[in-house]
Amino acid sequence: MWLDFLKLVTLYLLIFCVLRLLGKSLFSQWTPYDFVTIVFLGYLAFIAIDIDGFFSAIIGILIIGFVYLVVSRLSLIQPFDRYIVGEATILIKHGKIIEKNLKRSRYSLTELLSSIRIAGSPDIKDIDYALLEPNGQISIIKNRDITPVTPRQLNIETEYKGLPIAVVIQGRVQKRNLKSIDKDEDWLMKELRFKGYKSLDGIYYAYVNDQTHSLTVDTVE
């Protein structure tokens, strides 16, 4: 039995290594061959493990959970984080595509062009940096001359309008959220009655502005 559990850990680590070698593009958007690869990796791993019985399954789950915790802790330590999590890769620098980084990341030009279009930057010349993050997402830093001007740059003071805090969701009071704004259920019911609601029935969503403490109610049509 313990030999099977050793196989389980080995296959877990092996699949992890294979996925890291396949590149970060695997996690950004799945192509048909990405999907087939993942399915076959999982299938081959499962048929190689002989887990017999409910008790063995529980032990296997606990072992995988333990391995996961170990790997996640190692990912917080240098230099292990570089190999476990990975690093950002520059794909575009000052309006020019870094072809060698594309090849090393196994990220196609078609995928890159698609990603920058989705990000609202179809022209490569308008991009200062485009980085492929460890999670497979593309981060884009546009050139300064096309970046929208912010109120801070114009020395304009802006008023904080507050954050909407959900206090009722599908007829249920969100007690933690009420506590976060130093309010309780009695205050909430009082505000609801003031707006003409005698109970929580029919209230699909209600929120309170954390700045003004004004209550807004949405009902189900």
- Predicted confidence at residue 85, as pLDDT, reads 76
Q: Map out the domains of the chain with their CATH numbers.
A: 2-84 (no CATH), 89-146 (3.30.240.20), 164-219 (3.30.240.20)
- Predicted confidence at residue 25, as pLDDT, reads 59
- Predicted confidence at residue 209, as pLDDT, reads 92
- Predicted confidence at residue 167, as pLDDT, reads 93
- Predicted confidence at residue 27, as pLDDT, reads 58
pTM of the model: 0.57
In what order do the strands lie in the sheet containing 138-142?
96-97, 89-93, 127-132, 138-142
CB 134 within 8 A of CB 87: yes
- Predicted confidence at residue 26, as pLDDT, reads 58
Q: Which of 135, 138, 129 lies closest to 23, judged by CA?
A: 135
Distance CA 91, CA 44 (A): 34
In 10 A of CB 111, how many CB atoms?
Answer: 19
- Predicted confidence at residue 32, as pLDDT, reads 62
Query: Which amino acid is it at 183?
Result: K
In 10 A of CB 163, how many CB atoms?
Answer: 11
CB 107 within 8 A of CB 91: yes
Query: Which amino acid is it at 106?
Result: R
CB-count burial class (<10 Å; 0-12, 13-18, 19+) for 195: exposed
Q: What is the 3-state secondary structure (H, E, C) of the chain?
A: CHHHHHHHHHHHHHHHHHHHHHCCHHHHCCCHHHHHHHHHHHHHHHHCCCCCCHHHHHHHHHHHHHHHHHHHHHCCCCCHHHHHCCCCEEEEECCEECHHHHHHHCCCHHHHHHHHHHCCCCCHHHEEEEEECCCCCEEEEECHHHCCCCCCCCCCCCCCCCCEEEEEECCEECHHHHHHCCCCHHHHHHHHHHCCCCCCCCEEEEEEECCCCCEEEEECC
CB 28 within 8 A of CB 136: yes
pLDDT tens per residue across all 221 residues of the chain: 666 677 778 877 887 787 777 666 555 555 566 667 777 777 677 766 766 767 777 777 787 788 888 888 888 887 777 777 778 889 999 889 999 998 888 888 888 888 888 888 888 888 999 998 887 788 898 887 777 777 777 788 877 788 899 999 988 999 999 999 999 999 999 999 999 888 888 788 999 998 889 999 986 55
- Predicted confidence at residue 192, as pLDDT, reads 92
Beta bridge partner(s), residue 216: 207
